[in-house]
């Protein structure tokens, strides 16, 4: 068959599943409420908080976010499906985002892409078997002066050459920026599923 049909009888969310959002995460989401006139406006920050803490935003997490924000779950799904940053299924601990826009392509992003795919043995939108890396390409990362550039979680790597890729991906600290940080969007302490690491 050319298409797959969805099984609509099995519920996506287990009826009696324990909540996935801890009280700390909920408190963090609520801390964004005073900033906006409506609670719905805190949805993007909430999704960021949840994704940073849990790795991705599952259907159950969406439903619980809807509870916290007092909006229908459909509105959460509506919003989340628009933005490319959010993952609704499991992703790797580190996400490699390669810029594919014109400046980077002119300076050899295609070769970098092949090097990444060779090194990680995955294609775009795939995750390595050990769950360490996911690989995606994105439109312009606004660092065209350092083309070709790629982002690993929150750290931008500039002027990447295909030969640098194996070393870059082997470096355990390739995803954190060492600088004075604001904790505003960082995951709340003690709330995270620690086995996820990274974030």
What span, in angstroms and rounded, lies between the C-alpha atoms of 112 and 98? 8
Closest approach, Cβ 1 to other proteins, in A, equals: 17
Closest approach, Cβ 129 to other proteins, in A, equals: 26
Give the residue with the Cβ less far from other proteins, 2 or 16. Answer: 2
Give the residue with the Cβ less far from other proteins, 45 or 188. Answer: 45
What span, in angstroms and rounded, lies between the C-alpha atoms of 86 and 47? 8
Q: Which residues bind other proteins (CB under 8 A)?
A: 35-38, 40-45, 47-48, 69, 75, 78-79, 81-86, 97, 100-103, 105-107, 138-147, 151, 153-156, 177, 179-182, 184-185
Closest approach, Cβ 121 to other proteins, in A, equals: 25
Closest approach, Cβ 140 to other proteins, in A, equals: 4
30 burial type by CB count under 10 A (0-12 exposed, 13-18 middle, 19+ buried): middle
Give the residue with the Cβ less far from other proteins, 7 or 147. Answer: 147
Nearest CA among 60, 56, 80 for reference residue 192: 56
Closest approach, Cβ 157 to other proteins, in A, equals: 12
Q: What is the number of residues in the chain?
A: 199
* H-run or E-run covering 132: none
Give the residue with the Cβ less far from other proteins, 22 or 31. Answer: 31
Residue with token string 């459909």: 74
CA 125 to each of CA 69, 98, 128, 166, 175: distance values in angstroms, whole numbers, following the listed order: 30, 11, 10, 19, 18
Give the residue with the Cβ less far from other proteins, 69 or 120. Answer: 69
Q: Residues 159, 147: contact at Cβ < 8 Å?
A: yes
């Amino acid at each position: 068959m050319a298409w797959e049909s969805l099984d609509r009888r099995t519920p996506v969310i287990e009826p009696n599943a324990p909540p996935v959002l801890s009280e700390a995460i909920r408190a963090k989401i609520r801390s964004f409420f005073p900033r906006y006139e409506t609670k719905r406006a805190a949805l993007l920050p909430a999704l960021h908080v949840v994704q940073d803490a849990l790795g991705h935003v599952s259907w159950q997490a969406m439903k619980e976010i809807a509870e916290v924000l007092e909006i229908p779950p459909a509105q959460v799904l509506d919003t989340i499906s628009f933005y490319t940053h959010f993952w609704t299924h499991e992703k790797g601990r580190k996400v490699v985002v390669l810029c594919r826009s014109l400046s980077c392509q002119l300076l050899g992003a295609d070769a970098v892409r092949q090097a990444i795919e060779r090194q990680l043995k995955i294609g775009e939108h795939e995750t390595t078997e050990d769950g360490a890396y996911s690989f995606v390409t994105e439109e312009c990362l606004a660092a065209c002066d350092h083309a070709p550039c790629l982002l690993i979680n929150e750290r931008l790597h500039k002027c990447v050459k295909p030969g640098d890729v194996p070393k870059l991906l082997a470096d355990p600290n390739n995803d954190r920026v060492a600088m004075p940080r604001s904790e505003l969007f960082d995951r709340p302490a003690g709330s995270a599923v620690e086995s996820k690491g990274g974030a």
